Amino acid sequence: MYCHIWGTVLEKYHKLQPKHKTTDKLKVALQTIWEEMPREHMNKAVVIFTKCLTTYVTLAANDGHSEHLQ
């Protein structure tokens, strides 16, 4: 999901015309793209990250054995 978010940002950046020639202008452009991104993308990324992190922590607590997961 993270790749999807950054892929969307990159896609929108490539559509910008003209390209920004200073770091400050690039920063403003990327902030604008980020702010305009649908919150659903962010919410899905958080849910997926939380599930992955929970699974990792549970596996680590069980010495990496998935048979202990319910």
Question: Omega into 18 within 30° of 0, i.e. cis?
Answer: yes
What is the mean pLDDT of the segment spanning 34-59? 87
What is the mean pLDDT of the segment spanning 9-28? 90
Give the start-to-end residue ranges of the domains of the chain: 2-7+21-68
At 1, the pLDDT band (50, 70, 90 cuts) reads low
The answer, yes or no, to whether residue 8 has pLDDT greater than 60, is yes
Residues written for the chain: 70
Distance of CA 45 to the CA centre of its chain: 6
Overall pTM surpassing 0.85 (yes/no): no
Per DSSP, the three-state class of 67 is helix
What is the mean pLDDT of the segment spanning 5-31? 90
